[in-house]
Structure 1
């Protein structure tokens, strides 16, 4: 790991001396993060198996209890929502890694180099996008293997996948902020557990019709529900309106608004905390 860090910093200096800016430095930091992921089997196993394990559990343990929803098989209702809600869970490691890099002094060493310090954050987001794409691809394949079927077009399916990546891009900044605030891995992991009430108090796993009034009010007006319904509507195609009450466009627009809002707010907060040191 130390050799990899040293190589990254040396390359960053060389790139800066040649006139490289934020984009090059960000790519170098992202490369370091992705290589760390690939060279650490534990991260690959946890990042992939954890999401798949939850998916299979909900499909076979809870699926029989819920049954069909408005004529739609539970697996076709749950898999899109599960994949959308799995985005924040996949990114929990971002907060931990960011806090550990801060705690071990790696970020301080990068700050001392003649390269843009913001590359630490943007590079992390780029790496998160790559890792998230891998995890979501595996989860999607497993979803098809356990019975999920795409009712919309292939293009709509790809749009749903892209929407999940955008959602991940927004939530990366949330977890970067948590890591910067926590400043050590254990605290960052604890703070990241705040994602549980947001994901489980949504329409990702079950319809919100049967929830208590207070919980339903929360579930109807939070980002995971809009994203889950947007992904679900895209995969349902013509069945979206009978099942969800609206077409894909209705949910996609609101999911995009939430994603952009989260990105703007937490990007600003993360940069402010990072600059304060």
Structure 2
């Protein structure tokens, strides 16, 4: 395990070096969720009726937090696929290093990037008037749930990146990712949706994390009407753990059996 972590950190440093050489792409990745926050806040804020006259950003900011954990996943998939297609992955596999280091290193680098993304988003939210109303420990727990979701989604992205044949295929998958993110409680309470659509949105892992984060931050926007809606905190833990349990072993197996 120690060598796997050491080798994984070495591969993570390679990714960080690539980002340092292309800072524009990294900065855009940090600012894109900010753009989404500003755009949807301006488009929907005036039409949303919030309880007690609170700002729409009280509901929107935690939703964008959760949605930002999905953003950039196509970059992970593309990087993994490109390395495999160019033979870089095969070179790593020929070295005396942990077989998990390549995918683990990418995961470590992307998690560091996600931390920066949340910091930038939180600073923007605070500037727009969003606040958390609970304790600092509850706020940290909310950010922990968001990063747990990101960790789980990364393993889904890594598995897909190892499974597709070329970077062009990632574009097709990216088209399917966006509806998954938007069909959630990120922008509105699921109670405002038609019953069948609200039920689908509530069972979206994004909704569980967004609703749980709002509860921990003390922001409005809780969902009810189903078990998953009333137990969002449990869902925010169970969904990511299920994804990790399924896709981490699949990614490791796919990497060991990789043949291109």
TM-score by length of 1: 0.85
2:122 aligns to what? Answer: 140
When Rg is computed on C-alpha atoms for both structures, the one with the higher figure is: 1
Q: For 1:1-277, what aligned pairs fall within 5 Å after superposition?
A: 21-69=3-51, 71-236=53-218, 244=223, 250-277=231-258
SS in structure 2 of the partner of residue 65 of structure 1: coil
Deviation track 1:191-211 (CA, whole Å, cap 9, x = no partner) reads 133221211111111111121
Q: CA RMSD in A?
A: 2.2
Shift of 1:243: 5.1
Superposition deviation, residue 22 in structure 1: 1.4
Equivalent-residue separation in structure 1 for 2:75 and 2:244 (angstroms) = 18
Residue 149 of structure 1: how far off its partner (Å)? 1.3
1:130 and 1:210 mapped to 2: Cα distance? Answer: 35
How much has 1:101 moved relative to structure 2? 0.9
Q: Distance in 1 between matches of 2:85 and 2:48?
A: 45
In structure 2, how many angstroms separate the alpha carbons of the residues matched to 1:89 and 1:192?
10
Separation of aligned partners in 1, 2:33 and 2:27: 10
Contact 1:72 1:243 (8 Å CA) reproduced: no
Cα distance in 1 for residues equivalent to 2:74 and 2:214: 23
- Cα-to-partner distance string for 1:90-148 (whole Å, 9 max, x where unaligned): 33311111111111111011011111221111111111110110111101111111121
Residue in 2 that maps onto 1:8: none
Give the gaps of 5 or more residues in structure 2. none
> TM-score scaled to structure 2, two decimals?
0.90
Instruction: Show CA shifts across 1:128-183 (max 9, x none).
Output: 11011011110111111112111112221111111111111111001111211223
Q: Residue 34 of structure 1 contacts residue 131 of structure 1 at CA under 8 Å; is this kept in 2?
A: no
Corresponding residue SS for 2:186 = coil
